[in-house]
Amino acid sequence: MAGERVLVVEDNEANTALFTALLEARGYCVRCIDDGEELDRVVAEFRPRLILMDVQLPGVDGLELTRRLKADPATAGIPVLAVTAYAMKGDRDRVLDAGCDAYMSKPIDTRALPRVLADLLAQSKVGD
């Protein structure tokens, strides 16, 4: 669906540019932040239907940010797609234990990403 709001939390500029290009090409409305400091404010204001969350962030990491989002009834219904820089044994469990709804490792499979996003958006509890 065109215009669906996706928030990207990612500290690497090249990845941010890649995600933005991929998402905008699909008609999504994209907003990016590079750490968790503004997360609460941006989520409240932008009301993302989905969050694409880098796990390795400066300061509070993406797993802890996800735990906080999922602990708050106001934001628990936003699907979180975690993105990790390396796929290690046990990563998947850590990511899902933190409450992330799905997980992809970098480098991102750009052909698979649109389908993953569409599946997650179908589960989003955030309305238009």
Q: Which residues bind Mn ion (CB under 5 A)?
A: 11, 54, 56
**11 vs 91, which CB is nearer to Mn ion?**
11
Q: How far is the CB of 74 from Mn ion (least distance, A)?
A: 26
Which of 41, 48, 54 has the alpha carbon at shortest distance from 79? Answer: 48
**55 vs 116, which CB is nearer to Mn ion?**
55
**11 vs 40, which CB is nearer to Mn ion?**
11
Q: How far is the CB of 113 from Mn ion (least distance, A)?
A: 17
Q: How far is the CB of 46 from Mn ion (least distance, A)?
A: 20
Q: How far is the CB of 4 from Mn ion (least distance, A)?
A: 24
DSSP string, 56-98: S-SSS-HHHHHHHHHHSTTTTTS-EEEEESS--TTHHHHHHHT
Residues contacting 13, CB < 8 A, separation 6+: none
DSSP 54: E
Residues contacting 29, CB < 8 A, separation 6+: 3, 4, 5, 6
**10 vs 101, which CB is nearer to Mn ion?**
10
